[in-house]
Amino acid sequence: MRIRRMQLTDLDQVMALEREAYGFPWTEQVFRDCLRVGYECRVVEAGGLDVAGYAVLSVGAGECHLLNLCVAPAVRRVGVGRAFLMAMLGKGRAGGALHAFLEVRPSNTGAIALYRTAGFERIGLRRGYYQAEGGREDALVFRRPLDDLAA
Ligand SMILES: CC(C)(COP(=O)(O)OP(=O)(O)OC[C@H]1O[C@@H](n2cnc3c(N)ncnc32)[C@H](O)[C@@H]1OP(=O)(O)O)[C@@H](O)C(=O)NCCC(=O)NCCS
């Protein structure tokens, strides 16, 4: 697998994956804004796919926040997600972050399993954080110290 910077020209493929993965996908404008403000936006090439996944990380004030992580269905459960996640955390650490944070839906058991096995611990709950069918869904907040990663 190879990780590279997300380009505007990747957005068609990113949006196709985003719409497939989430019931309430980000709009293309959200990705454009993330690129514009300088968030760490990356895509991963794997399994012969030019865009096999993507991730967005904000870094600042000694923290980083994983805003999105998605792997194409065709290459799931072969380790791409974990390797990509760890690479993104490494970018956070290199940017001066001491902790990483993320939110995840309680119903997203696969992602929760990934985050737990990657060293994240649940530290809180944000009530009604996400849109959901017929209402709102809470978010679990996870945190991971980054002091084991090279700065
Ligand atoms: C969550 C996601 C990124 C995982 O990507 P992936 O490449 O399949 O993850 P990996 O293969 O590296 O999995 C690493 C570990 O995470 C756990 N895991 C990942 N997906 C899982 C699933 N569907 N069910 C149970 N455990 C899962 C397992 O412990 C797995 O290790 P194992 O395969 O040796 O059992 C991917 O399923 C995805 O893109 N989902 C849709 C988008 C999404 O929900 N993103 C997270 C938003 S918070």
Distance 77 CA to ligand 1 centre (A): 6
**CB 67 within 8 Å of CB 56:** yes
Euclidean distance between CA atoms 142 and 144, whole angstroms: 7
Q: What letter represents residue 72's amino acid?
A: A
Q: What is the DSSP string of 34-89?
A: HHHTT-EEEEEEETTEEEEEEEEEEEETTEEEEEEEEE-GGGTTSSHHHHHHHHHH
Cα-Cα end-to-end distance for the chain:
22
Q: Which residues pair with 44 in a beta bridge?
A: 3, 53
Query: How far does the centroid of ligand 1 lie from the alpha carbon of residue 113, in Å?
Result: 7
Task: Determine the angle formed by the axes of helices 28-36 and 11-21, rounding to 10 degrees.
Answer: 130
Residue whose CB lies within 8 A of the most ligand 1 atoms, among 3, 13, 77, for a mutation test: 77
Query: Under CATH, what is the fold of the domain 2-145?
Result: Aminopeptidase (3.40.630)
- Confidence class of residue 151 from pLDDT cuts 50, 70 and 90? confident
pLDDT tens figures, 19-65: 999 999 999 999 999 999 999 999 999 999 999 999 999 999 999 99
40, β-bridge pairs:
57
CB 140 within 8 A of CB 107: no
Name the residue with tokens 């293309």. 28
State the pLDDT at residue 42.
98
Quick one: pLDDT at residue 150? 83
Dihedral (CA of 42, 27, 36, 10) sign:
positive
- Taking the whole predicted model, whether its pTM rises above 0.95 is answered as yes
Q: Which of 26, 51, 71 to mutate to test the pocket of ligand 1 (most atoms within 8 A of CB)?
A: 71
Chain position carrying tokens 């980083």: 64
CA–CA gap between residue 96 and residue 89 (Å, rounded): 11
pLDDT at 98 over 90: yes
